[in-house]
Amino acid sequence: MNEKEIAELRRRFRPDRSSITHIRGCFVNESREIVSQFDQSMGMLGQDDAELILATIRRTLSGTLGKNLVDIEFATAQVVDGDEHKLLMVLRDSALKHEDTVQALFQRVIASLDIEGNYLILLARDAYDVPYRSQDGEKQADASSESFSYILCSICPVKLTKPALSYAAERSEFSHLKVDWVVSPPELGFLFPAFDDRSTNLYGALYYTKDVTESHKDFIDAIFRTEPPMPAAAQKETFQSLLGETLADECSYEVVQAVQGELCGMIAVHKESKEPEPLVLNKGAVRRVLSSCGVSKERADIFEVQFDDSFGEETELSPRNLVDTKQIEVRTPDVKIQISPDRGDLLETRVIDGAKYILIRADEGVEVNGVNIKIK
């Protein structure tokens, strides 16, 4: 799925646009026991309550594509005769009314998930009459190309509020605000099936995780029976280690800065182009970046081999997962320096009288503990 397709579905989550008639769910305590279950009719809720529920589950379609939102692909054998795919299909086709299947999903989630404290499992089913779009992109609201039926599952932590002091203006008095349970934004979840090319793709799903350092491997295996993708934070750490190990003595500040500049430039150009498909790079594209930044052929060859071992031969990576587009960070055991990516020229490395130095040009506005100082 791409950003436009995700945004199109996100706009559905309003009471006047959604065809979600009810929300199924259960409350799970810290002992991994189902305390209560519910089947909440959306029509019986007030406007404010309905908007809050839809806004909460809509967060399962938020975040950065490739980091928080990851495409899941089913193998053909799974679609034809896989228990996990069959379960998801029954949930969708029965509009969450097949009780045994709903309970089976609850148990799979609970058995595979390791979240501290209490949480809610929320299930919604929507049917979207996809408006037809002409070749020039114009939407024709009165013409529908197909109906896209899907389910959305959201796992939301439930936490106690902190004690607080409240003031009642009508009584002109202070009082203790009652501690209560509050539903937090989703920690993880998924959409099934995928909405690819604005159409139903039964071979795909969209997985959401709030924490880009955590993939919830057991959860993905239980629901999709597939190998989880490497978390975005792990991709960045692996790429950084790969550069340092394979480039060896060629891994200078200038080379690393140049690589970041090239990748950030690609991200900026892609954003300006408004291309809906996500930007991804294979190992060949990354190798070309390294070569353009002055890395020798020998070291680039070593990088390619190690790339296969670290990520997989056919893996494509999002540049957003490999570099920080907001800053360059230089660390020593005792010092941390942060520089804007477009001002990497302010820093250079030198060896003076046998000692290694990091030099930063500081023409004006230098402060130490908030105090302006003069450099003489």
> For residue range 58-95, what is the model confidence (pLDDT) as tens digits?
999 999 888 899 999 999 999 999 999 999 999 999 99
pTM for the structure as a whole:
0.82
Compute the distance between CA of residue 162 and CA of residue 168 in angstroms, rounded to an integer: 18
Instruction: Evaluate whether 246 touches 290 at the Cβ level (below 8 Å).
Output: no
What's the confidence (pLDDT) of residue 140? 57
Confidence of residue 109 (pLDDT cuts 50, 70, 90): very high
Q: Which amino acid is at 270?
A: H
The percent of residues above 70 in pLDDT, for the chain, comes to: 97
Q: Tens digit of pLDDT for each residue in 112-163?
A: 998 889 999 999 999 999 987 765 555 555 556 689 999 999 999 999 888 8
> For the segment 244-296, what is each residue's pLDDT rounded down to a tens digit?
999 998 999 999 999 999 999 999 999 898 888 888 999 899 999 999 999 99
Identify the band that residue 7 occupies on the pLDDT scale cut at 50, 70 and 90: very high
Confidence of residue 173 (pLDDT cuts 50, 70, 90): confident
Q: Of the candidates 190, 183, 1, which has an alpha carbon nearest to the alpha carbon of residue 91?
A: 190
Q: How high is the pLDDT of residue 136? A: 57
Any idea where the domains of the chain sit in the sequence?
3-229, 233-321, 328-367
> 219 pLDDT band (50/70/90 cuts)?
very high
Asked, as a colleague might, if the bond just before 319 is cis with ω within 30 of 0, I would say no
Mean pLDDT confidence for 26-48: 91
User: How many CB atoms within 10 Å of residue 367?
Assistant: 8
In 78-138 the beta strands, taken as DSSP E runs, fall at 118-133
Looking at residue 374, its pLDDT comes to 87
What letter represents residue 340's amino acid?
Answer: S
Q: What is the pLDDT of residue 274?
A: 84
Please provide residue 326's backbone torsions phi and psi, each rounded to the nearest 5 degrees.
-100, -20
Q: How far apart, in Å, are the Cα atoms of 19 and each of 128, 131, 148, 190, 293?
A: 7, 15, 11, 18, 52
Residues 122/140, Cβ–Cβ less than 8 Å: no
Tokens 């959401």, located at residue: 208
Q: What is the mean pLDDT of residues 304-323?
A: 89
The answer to whether the CB of 201 falls within 8 A of the CB of 195 is yes
- Weakest-pLDDT range from 42-51, 133-142, 349-358: 133-142
Alpha carbons 7 and 12: distance in angstroms, whole number: 9
Give the pLDDT confidence score for residue 176 in this predicted structure: 80
